[in-house]
Structure 1
Amino acid sequence: MTAAFRTRYELSPAQARRVTAEFLAAHPTPRGRFVCAVAGPDTPLADVGRALERQVFQHTFGNDAAVMAAEYGPYEANSLFFLVIDRRRGVPAGVARMIESTGRGVKTIDDAPEHIGVDVETILAAHGMDGGLVWDCATLAVLPKYRGGRSSLIVSSMLYRTFLVIGRRRGIRHAVSMLDRGAYRNIGLMGTPLEPLAGSGPFAYLGSPENRAVYMDFPAIAPAVAAQAAVHRRAGRLRLSALRPSGLRRMLTRRVAATVSERVGTGKDIDELIVVPV
């Protein structure tokens, strides 16, 4: 479906700041540096999200505004944006886009046959997608300044948790996505149960040399991620092996992963920071 409204992938910093400032003034939250707003496709916040998508994807994969508009234009009207805003700086920090349909009509399933050699009917049958609502996790982009240190954990964790909270409210049954190597590794480490779409392997896609098409049983995600927190916590306990540099790194990685999995799986310290504007 083509959007009946004008979408923008090029916003100036001043324009983005104005839109985010208007949102923050209208939706003050009781605490926290960050807030995650849920925005429909025809809202000013959605354009802030699109501009952030374009900025990150152009830097990482070379996808400029024209490429983004061509690739996502057919799905704009069915898109929902999660936008994490840095309240201290008054700027967007990260964004995720969901495309909603009932199997056909989401980008991952529409694009997959060309890359994995399996037709749409076979893909849908392989995962029992027989009419329930499907979310395509179409994009997830975090600005570089929010990828290091503590802020990187909270920004990405808020995007993942909002996906689970809002998806549950909307009755989502299935989720699919195209994941580059880094995203596939990080989301898998969090405990998300990922299945290769129709048994497919990696392939090049939209500037990513190693991409995977994946399926997720949506109701199973939150319990699996919450359970993974305990697994990481046990693996992150102090042992003699941690005296070696490599052991120390693994221990610290597990402890960080435990925090992320707990936040995403349970909503600890995050759920009250998710705002759905009326």
Structure 2
Amino acid sequence: MALRLLVAHSAGERDAARRVEADVFLQAFGNTPAVMEQEYGPYEDRSRFVAVVDDESGRALGAIRLIPAGPAPVKTLADVAGEPWHLPVADSLATIDLTPEAVWDVASLAVDPRYRTGAAGAEITLALCHGVWRYATGTGVHGLVTILDDRVLRVLRVLGLPWRPMAGASSRPYLGSPASTPCVFDLRKAEVEVPAARPDLVPALDSGMFRSIVVDPVDLAPTRGTVAPRARPERSLPPRRDTTGWRPPTSRRTEASANPPPR
């Protein structure tokens, strides 16, 4: 395989990122295509994807969906304002000197289960994190928000990434995950905190140095991912619904390196 880290720009790259996202979320959380459309459809034209792609097959081995700030709230902030958290979003972000207009949403994190273990699996996760770091800082973003499955949150903390619970948030069931926590990542402080926590991972997380994944700064340029919206009927955000109901997915749950729809 010839692996490359990039911000998906072509239709094929974006489709590959959506495909691995859909496969992982179905397996890990029982999120069917109908659920994914309900949750992400209203944000589709705003979404950008950081992905590790096999250039030979065109297949994405892992992807992160980003939703930039805009006139309407990003998905994570819209969701945490409702059930089950009812967070006062602006007040919560203000505790670390951020505003809803200054944050992007890490709306999903998905890695193909065949590539989660061993050194190769670790590289894919690290590469995705590096890609988000470089792309977000390149576009002038100050902070990131997400709702993370608690298992994934533990993995990211082991990697030295300072994702912290949003002020007032606690772990709750969410969209197929039995326990997820709304989190925030202050990019302004992470540049100091990450090297202090995991100096051994600085070459990967900061410099993008990997053994099996090619990283070209051009592929992470701020101009990538900004495709023209598809022609589609005007639609409003879905009505607020109760996301707390949890049920075991139809397929066997595996350890998922996936962020439940933002979670």
Quick one: structure 1 residues 153 and 54, their matched pair in 2 at CA, closer, same or farther if it must change by over 3 Å? same
Equivalent in the alignment of 2:25: 57
Is the counterpart of residue 109 in structure 1 residue 52 in structure 2? no
Q: Deviations over 1:69-106 (max 9, x none)?
A: 11011111221101211245552211110111069511
Mapped contact 1:226–1:266 kept (Cα < 8 A): no
Is the counterpart of residue 223 in structure 1 residue 192 in structure 2? yes
Is the counterpart of residue 138 in structure 1 residue 81 in structure 2? no
Letter paired with 2:204: R
Which of 157, 161, 181 lines up with 1:192 in the alignment?
Answer: 161
Equivalent in the alignment of 1:78: 46
Mapped contact 1:36–1:84 kept (Cα < 8 A): yes
Q: Deviations over 1:179-236 (max 9, x none)?
A: 1122100111122222211231100111010101011111222332222223xxxxxx
- d(CA) in 1 for partners of 2:13, 2:207: 27
Percent identity, please: 31
Which of 159, 165, 172 lines up with 1:203 in the alignment?
Answer: 172
Q: Secondary structure at the match of 2:109?
A: strand
Letter paired with 1:120: V
- Higher mean alpha-carbon deviation, 63-72 vs 84-93, is at 84-93
Quick one: structure 1 residues 139 and 46, their matched pair in 2 at CA, closer, same or farther if it must change by over 3 Å? same
Is the counterpart of residue 94 in structure 1 residue 94 in structure 2? no
Letter paired with 2:166: L
Is the counterpart of residue 272 in structure 1 residue 240 in structure 2? no
For structure 1, the 5+ residue unaligned runs are 1-31, 231-257
Q: Secondary structure at the match of 2:146?
A: strand
- d(CA) in 1 for partners of 2:177, 2:100: 30
- d(CA) in 2 for partners of 1:208, 1:105: 22
How far apart are 1:37 and its partner, in Å? Answer: 1.9
- d(CA) in 1 for partners of 2:28, 2:165: 24
Q: Secondary structure at the match of 1:115?
A: coil
Is the counterpart of residue 182 in structure 1 residue 151 in structure 2? yes
For structure 2, the 5+ residue unaligned runs are 226-263
Q: Which has the higher helix share?
A: 1
- d(CA) in 1 for partners of 2:214, 2:98: 29
Equivalent in the alignment of 1:162: 131
How far apart are 1:272 and its partner, in Å? Answer: 3.1
- d(CA) in 2 for partners of 1:53, 1:131: 25
- d(CA) in 1 for partners of 2:187, 2:108: 17
Task: Report how many aligned residue pairs link the two structures.
Answer: 218
Cα RMSD for the two superposed structures: 2.4
- d(CA) in 2 for partners of 1:103, 1:124: 17
How far apart are 1:107 and its partner, in Å? Answer: 0.9
Letter paired with 2:21: E
Which of 113, 124, 128 lines up with 2:97 in the alignment?
Answer: 128
- d(CA) in 2 for partners of 1:66, 1:151: 32
User: What is the TM-score with the length of structure 2 in the denominator?
Assistant: 0.75
Q: Deviations over 1:18-77 (max 9, x none)?
A: xxxxxxxxxxxxxx832012125x833212211211100000000011111110111112
Mapped contact 1:203–1:210 kept (Cα < 8 A): yes
Mapped contact 1:61–1:206 kept (Cα < 8 A): yes
Letter paired with 1:86: D
Letter paired with 1:77: D
User: What is the TM-score with the length of structure 1 in the denominator?
Assistant: 0.71
Equivalent in the alignment of 1:11: none
Mapped contact 1:222–1:266 kept (Cα < 8 A): no
Quick one: structure 1 residues 271 and 122, their matched pair in 2 at CA, closer, same or farther if it must change by over 3 Å? farther
Equivalent in the alignment of 1:66: 34
